[in-house]
Amino acid sequence: MSKRQAATAYGEVIDAISRFLASPPEGTPHEIIQAFDLLGDNSFLPPKLFLETVEQAPVAISITDPNARILYANSAFEKLTGYSRDDVIGKNQSMLSSKSTPMAIYQDLWKTINEGKVWRGTLVNNRKGGDEYLAELSISPVLNSDGRIAYYLGMHRDITELHALEQRLAFQKKLTEAALDAAPMVVAMIDGDGTLLLDNHAYKALIGDLGEEPLRLFLDALRQQIGLDLSHVCGVGEGFTNVEVRLEARGAQSPRWFSCSGVRIVDLNDEARSFFQTGEEAERCCLLLIANEITESRNRIVEARLNMIRANMAEQQMVQTMREAISASLFKLQAPINIIKAAMSMSGSGGDCSNMGPVLRQALDTGEEAIESLHNALPGPRTEQTANVNMNELLHEVLRLSTDSLLAAGVVVDWRAASVLPSLTGRPNALRGLLKYLIDNSVQALNESGRDYREMRLETREENDEVLIAVMDNGMGIPETAILKAFEPFYCGWADSRGHAGMGLTMAQEVAISHGGSIEIDRHFVGGCRVFVRLPYESGAGGAP
């Protein structure tokens, strides 16, 4: 470049930049204005220093005429493109084009800058050596005193590496998402505030099934089950493994079971302020929740357990029926024996029956023998180990065992169990028998009432250190006069007494008392029958049958 050419170029650059700074076009990026306007009021900036500032700017700066003919390029431009100033001055900016940029992009570029607006975008450029790079470019039009475009000011930087990094990151993200989506288990990543950061297909499918956000249900269930404190786990705590939780959602038909594990994940904080932070300060922790559905296997276990309970209860029922039948026979046999004894004492005191003595003795002996054999045949009380029992669970099991009879009688069950009920020490089978007896009675009362609408309500709650179970029905009720008698052995108030020995309530009462509790028929209840069972949580459950 000759001295004269250099002086002209220098004058044009100063002119272009001064005009630009006097009225930067709307939309000019802030950093461009800052790059040229380092000392604030540029009129005080000596032109040489002014040019020096542009010259040393770390971004590639070029100034062109309205046809993109390059008038000036700074040293960052030389470094980035590989072209010297002598190579580019007087040439069109298109010399950088790699021809991989779609024509529509150039058309948009020119349309924008010709309208006097700033264009920002990305182009594929060629360096002098031929290798391509991705240029993030911004072009600002500079107007002359007539308001016509006099120059264009271009600034660009190489974002090839950034782009490659973004692409790699996007690929990794896609790969992770694909792997997560293909996984059959529910996966969710949550921060310490319980905000969902990431989920997978299985999680989304669960939203549809449950009709609500599964995360809230999982967190509630884990809080109840293991006292999960999310902010603690995300802070310093440890994860957890294979915690079985039950999700009972509004929209769901039946409860779903999941085996949950939680892994604490340390995510590096990407906020600017964390740049100088070290260790835990720079970390942001999340919880990766992995939930495996186990509803099917759980249902199989429950079904097997119910079958076992069903068999056990059937056996218990059989023994009970035998006990009732033999007890009734003993009771009935006792009456003629008492009469014989009375007759014998009368004959002994000189009554008319003196010649009947031997016959009566023989009848008495035979009767007493029969009583003894019956006593021997009476099945002994079944002994049962005590265990921690939850009356909600027992009631639920008995209800499931009674499903057929409830359906056959057309009974609507209103289940109002307390969500949390203290456990008590008791004999599970005996207590199931008690509950089964009350439910069977309600079904029979509803059948005998002949009502069209048949309802049974089951309520449980904690009251005065006791677990209270209320069984209500809108059947025919028990008359006031029969309430006390109902607990007497061999009393039967049913219209259809087939299969009833009148020992059920007596036995149920025995079970309640042996657990330190009570059973009571509510005499004030109208429109049916209500029975209260009260069982203290600390009951020793004795050793009685």
Query: Which one of the spans 60-68, 207-215, 305-313, 403-411 is the region binding ligand FAD (CB under 6 A)?
Result: 60-68
Q: Does 64 bind ligand FAD (CB under 6 A)?
A: yes
- Backbone φ and ψ for 451, nearest 5 degrees, come out as -65, 150
Category of 362 on φ-ψ map: left (φ > 0), alpha (ψ -120 to 50) or beta:
alpha
Q: Which of 21, 76, 80, 139 binds ligand FAD (CB under 6 A)?
A: 139
Q: How far is the CB of 10 from ligand FAD (least distance, A)?
A: 19
Q: What is the DSSP letter of 74?
A: -
Q: How far is the CB of 60 from ligand FAD (least distance, A)?
A: 8
Compare residues 67 and 464 and give the one whose CB is closer to ligand FAD.
67
Query: Which one of the spans 41-49, 59-67, 353-361, 506-514 is the region binding ligand FAD (CB under 6 A)?
Result: 59-67
Q: How far is the CB of 216 from ligand FAD (least distance, A)?
A: 52
Query: Which one of the spans 7-15, 63-71, 353-361, 384-392 is the region binding ligand FAD (CB under 6 A)?
Result: 63-71
Q: How far is the CB of 124 from ligand FAD (least distance, A)?
A: 8
State the maximum Cα–Cα separation within the chain, in Å, rounded to a whole number: 166
Query: Which one of the spans 62-70, 159-167, 272-280, 380-388 is the region binding ligand FAD (CB under 6 A)?
Result: 62-70
Query: Which one of the spans 64-72, 221-229, 296-304, 326-334 is the region binding ligand FAD (CB under 6 A)?
Result: 64-72
Compare residues 97 and 390 and give the one whose CB is closer to ligand FAD.
97
3-state secondary structure 270-287: CCHHHHHCCHHHHEEEEE
Compare residues 130 and 279 and give the one whose CB is closer to ligand FAD.
130
Compare residues 101 and 386 and give the one whose CB is closer to ligand FAD.
101
Six token digits for residue 173: 């993200």
Regarding beta strands 119-126 and 132-143, do their DSSP bridges make them parallel or antiparallel, or are they unpaired?
antiparallel
Q: Does 24 bind ligand FAD (CB under 6 A)?
A: no
DSSP class per residue in 163-197 = HHHHHHHHHHHHHHHHHHHHSSSEEEEEETT--EE
SS3 category, 474: coil
Compare residues 59 and 503 and give the one whose CB is closer to ligand FAD.
59
CA 358, 359, 364, 366 dihedral sign is positive
Q: How far is the CB of 103 from ligand FAD (least distance, A)?
A: 6
Q: How far is the CB of 114 from ligand FAD (least distance, A)?
A: 5
CA 83, 89, 90, 92 dihedral sign is positive
Compare residues 76 and 96 and give the one whose CB is closer to ligand FAD.
96
Alpha-carbon Rg of the chain, whole angstroms? 46
Compare residues 135 and 395 and give the one whose CB is closer to ligand FAD.
135
Compare residues 93 and 509 and give the one whose CB is closer to ligand FAD.
93
- Backbone φ and ψ for 375, nearest 5 degrees, come out as -55, -45
CA 124, 127, 133, 139 dihedral sign is negative
Q: How far is the CB of 5 from ligand FAD (least distance, A)?
A: 20
Compare residues 60 and 188 and give the one whose CB is closer to ligand FAD.
60
Q: Which of 59, 135, 230, 471 binds ligand FAD (CB under 6 A)?
A: 135
- The whole-angstrom separation of Cα 83 and Cα 91 is 11
Q: Where are the alpha helices (DSSP H) in 450-498?
A: none
Q: How far is the CB of 128 from ligand FAD (least distance, A)?
A: 13
- The whole-angstrom separation of Cα 75 and Cα 81 is 10
Q: Of 71, 75, 69, 70, which Cα lies nearest the Cα of 53?
A: 75
Compare residues 123 and 187 and give the one whose CB is closer to ligand FAD.
123
Q: Does 137 bind ligand FAD (CB under 6 A)?
A: yes
**Total number of residues binding ligand FAD (CB under 6 A)?**
22
Q: Which residues contact 323 (CB under 8 A, 6 or more apart)?
A: 378, 379, 503
Site for ligand FAD in 70-129 (CB under 6 A): 92-94, 96-97, 101, 106-107, 110, 114, 123, 125
Query: Residues, the chain, total?
Result: 545
Site for ligand FAD in 145-184 (CB under 6 A): 152, 154, 156
Q: Which residues contact 245 (CB under 8 A, 6 or more apart)?
A: 218, 221, 222, 225, 257, 258, 260, 291
Six token digits for residue 413: 């069950």
SS3 category, 269: coil
Q: How far is the CB of 62 from ligand FAD (least distance, A)?
A: 6
Compare residues 155 and 401 and give the one whose CB is closer to ligand FAD.
155
SS3 category, 470: strand
Contact footprint for ligand FAD (CB under 6 A): 62, 64, 67-68, 92-94, 96-97, 101, 106-107, 110, 114, 123, 125, 135, 137, 139, 152, 154, 156
